Amino acid sequence: MNSEAKTSFSAENQRSVIKFLMLEGESTAGIHRRLVKSLGREAFSETNVRYWCTRFKNGDWSVQDHRGGDFTSEPQAEVRVATIEEAFHQSRAWSLRALSAQYEIPYGTCHRIVTQNLKMKQKFKKWIPHDLTPAQVEVRRVYSQNNLQTFNDKKNRLEHTVAIDCPMSPARKGSGQRMALNRRSVQFGGCGE
């Protein structure tokens, strides 16, 4: 057999040969020898041949490898994506384990749906979209313009703002005396005055 034919001999083809030779009564070692003789380095390992012989002897006659991956039907996959998307509309604070348990979807499938299908990532224990929607971009642009306009209208506002870590800040004066500061700027004069 030429080298091109050997490389085009797929894993599924090798499993079909293993199945045929096993039905013929060939031993696992004999099947492996014949594969190596025909395919050389492209042949399955003896361990792999033994695995498939055992699988066939146990009544699983499929030559397709169903180990790992998501083999759900397309409609079922769409239902799962819709279910998880609906759960995120209710709350973005879901953990993948909780989603998996609540909707009886495997953990790995939940992870794939959330990260690849819904294109989300977790920040501060909440799932957020990777990219902003055009509406979100517009809202942020408007807020930024408003903040810049406010800053330009009241340039002296910074002169009257005291940082909490400033040595002259009321929150830092005195050893045990701490003032409760609210979220607004403290109007006591600049740092170091």
Alpha-helical runs (H) found in 95-176 = 96-103, 107-112, 134-153
- Tell me the mean pLDDT in the region 38-65: 88
Task: Give the end-to-end CA distance of the chain in Å, rounded to a whole number.
Answer: 91
pLDDT at position 63 is 84
pLDDT at position 175 is 44
Q: Could you tell me which residues are beta bridge partners of residue 127?
A: 122
pLDDT at position 181 is 45
- The fold adopted by the segment(s) 3-57 is Arc Repressor Mutant, subunit A (1.10.10)
Question: Residue 67 above 80 pLDDT?
Answer: no
**In the chain, what are the domain boundaries?**
3-57, 74-129
- Tell me the mean pLDDT in the region 6-12: 75
Which tens digit of pLDDT belongs to each residue from 148-182?
888 777 766 655 555 555 555 454 444 444 444 44
Q: State which H helix or E strand residue 128 sits in.
A: strand 126-129
The residue that leads in pLDDT, 119 or 173, is 119
* CA–CA dist 181, 77 (Å, integer): 52
pLDDT at position 49 is 93
**Own/partner pairs, 163-166, CB within 8 angstroms, 24+ separation:** 163/191, 166/191, 166/192
